[in-house]
Amino acid sequence: MSQHLTTVAGVTVDTRHFIGGERVASADTFTDVSPIDGSTLGEIARGTATEAAAAVAAAKAAFPAWAATPRAERARLLHAVADGVEKRLEDLAMVETCDNGALLRSHRRGVMPRVAHNFRFFADWLLTLEHEDFDTRGHTNHVSWDPAGPCVLITPWNAPLMLATWKVAPALAAGNTVVLKPAEWSPLTASLLADIAAEAGLPAGVLNVVQGYGSEIGDALTSHPDVRRISFTGSVPTARRIAASAAAHLTPLSLELGGKSPLLVFADADLDLAVDLAVEQYDNAGQVCLAATRLLVEEPVAEEFTRRFVARVARLKQGDPREEATDIGPNIHPRQLEKIDGFVQRALAAGARAVIGGHRRDGRYYAPTLLTDVAQDSEIVQEEVFGPVLTLQTFTGEDEAVRLANDTRFGLAATLATGDAERAARVSARLVAGTVWVNCFFVRDLRAPFGGSRQSGMGREGGTWSFDFYCDLKNTVTAP
Ligand code: NAD
């Protein structure tokens, strides 16, 4: 087998970049390790400014023909990519689980079907994009969504292919070409996507994938003068660096960042539902940007809520994410575990109480943790942990609930559990969040805007909002 191929759970993955329709190696590599058992998955091409420049050049060269490709043909090709994803669903699910440690059952049933749906949805939405012409003293105003050019898409490791295709699909549908850089902790499925796209007939250079450390290849991508859009999902500190780099050419940015979202449980809520919603926050071992990690529970039901919550968490099975019965898998990397434990130990030292958890489990697992007796201005309440760690605070009445919920520099999402529809409407209106879920969690419709307020992001993607970002909107005014 070529030194550039690796086999993961029986699936062959090319570890090189994919630039201009060709596989391209780098002088150097980095080691990709499985969070499940620490085994080596492959030696991945370690991109530098050279590969960044080559990928942007390939995207630039492919842009005019792709932008001129009729919408219906672009849509057909994106559906062909979706077909390819569905055909290789099992491979993608297994490789992703080995690479980032998220549950195989979720990848099979939820995530990978959604990856295919990302392509189908934006292909179909493209065909419906139409703005009504309007009249100004007999002149016609016609608004069009013109392709913008090469787009750089940078994604994190917690939901690698799902988050990548949430950007790749609309960017391509819009008539742009793409350079995708997946996270170095989960590089494999992006490489499989390159194979799938090529097989589906996507022209060379339309989708390019580069691998490597953000600190080594990132700047060359985000400061490149030929890049017309940058869409980034990841942490706030990286977003700051990208924004500074993009400032060189004022390249438009879409930022989907971290969160510290609240779950508000009112005394009139269905408590079993509220407990279910709270337990869901441990999904993906807590490595979910949208996770409602701050449980805010109304005083009269706090004790009963906690009792039921603890009983439910005791039944969760933590272990190998490839096993069907597993509820919580490993955390992505020893560094991430250090970070999680650091937050928890500092909180405990500051007087917090661990109702459950508060420590590591062997290997790469962190015990699902609930901390109480935490101060509103403490690190554990204000900073994103990105692990299976929740805090619980109590409140009395709507005003205090809203005050605590909004007292954060983030604003990605908020969830509330209440049996009173009027209260739900009142409280939702006062919450600062890109998405508010009432008596539910994680229900996503790709037609809806998605993004964060405050430091949780900049801009919105989804439906027409995605096309607004990835296109140069143009108004053509024609005299009578
Ligand atoms: P990260 O910011 O460390 O890395 C994200 C990506 O940025 C990686 O591909 C990385 O290689 C790249 N990168 C790093 N430095 C760079 C640079 N200087 N220039 C260009 N690219 C660079 O984030 P992470 O740890 O991979 O992901 C976790 C974070 O992502 C959390 O904060 C989480 O909340 C957030 N997230 C947000 C959403 C959302 O939709 N809002 C979704 C998932 C994750």
Q: Check residue 1 and give its pLDDT.
A: 60
Q: To which residue do tokens 């996270």 refer?
A: 183
Ligand 1 mean position to 21 CA, how many Å?
26
Query: Which amino acids are annotated catalytic?
Result: 256
Exposure of 474 by Cβ count < 10 A (0-12 exposed, 13-18 middle, 19+ buried)? Answer: exposed
Q: How far is the CA of 154 from the centre of ligand 1 (A)?
A: 7
Rounded Cα–Cα distance for residues 329 and 336 (Å) = 14
Superfamily of domain 5-257+456-478: Aldehyde Dehydrogenase; Chain A, domain 1 (3.40.605.10)
452 in ligand 1 pocket by Cβ < 6 Å? yes
Cβ–ligand 1 distance for 39 under 6 Å, the answer: no
Asked if 192 and 23 count as a contact pair (C-beta separation under 8 A), the reply is no
Q: Which of 312, 307, 300 is nearest to 269 (CA)?
A: 300
C-alpha 236 to ligand 1 mean position (Å) = 8
> How many angstroms does the Cα of residue 412 sit away from the middle of ligand 1?
15
Helices 71-87 and 188-200 sit at what angle, rounded to 10 degrees? 130
The Cα–Cα gap between 410 and 384 comes to: 9
Structure tokens belonging to residue 355: 């109702």
β-pair type (365-366, 369-372): unpaired
- Residue of 41, 42, 43 lying closest to 29 (CA atoms): 43
Q: Structural domain boundaries of the chain?
A: 5-257+456-478, 262-438
- What is 262-438's CATH number, 3.30.450.20, 3.40.309.10, 3.40.50.970, 3.40.50.300? 3.40.309.10
Ligand 1 atom showing the smallest separation from residue 219 Cα:
19
In this structure, are residues 219 and 245 in contact, taking their beta carbons and an 8 Å threshold? yes
Ligand 1 atom at shortest distance from the alpha carbon of 157: 26
Report in angstroms the alpha-carbon separations of 449 from 326, 415, 416, 436, 441.
32, 17, 19, 12, 16
Tokens (6 digits) for 7 = 């086999």
Residue 32's H or E segment, with its range, is: strand 29-33
Residue matched to tokens 């660096």: 241
What number does the ligand 1 atom closest to the CA of 234 have?
30
Tell the residue nearest (CA) to atom 20 of ligand 1.
218
Measured CA distances, 337 to 38, 56, 96, 366, 386 (Å): 13, 35, 20, 7, 10
Asked if residue 8 has its Cβ within 6 Å of ligand 1, the reply is: no
**DSSP classification of residue 388:** S
Residue 365 to residue 352: CA distance in whole angstroms: 21
- What is the pLDDT at residue 364? 86
Is 156 near ligand 1, meaning CB less than 6 Å away? yes
Which residue's alpha carbon is at the smallest distance from atom 16 of ligand 1?
214
Q: What is the full per-residue pLDDT of the chain (480 aa) written as tens digits?
A: 678 999 999 999 999 999 999 999 999 999 999 999 999 999 999 999 999 999 999 999 999 999 999 999 999 999 999 999 999 999 999 999 999 999 999 999 999 999 999 999 999 999 999 888 999 999 999 999 999 999 999 999 999 999 999 999 999 999 999 999 999 999 999 999 999 999 999 999 999 999 999 999 999 999 999 999 999 999 999 999 999 999 999 999 999 999 999 999 999 999 999 999 999 999 999 999 999 999 999 999 999 999 999 999 999 999 999 999 999 999 999 999 999 999 999 999 999 999 999 999 987 899 999 999 999 999 999 999 999 999 999 999 999 999 999 999 999 999 999 999 999 999 999 999 999 999 999 999 999 999 999 999 999 999 999 999 999 999 999 999
219 CA distance to ligand 1 middle (Å)? 14
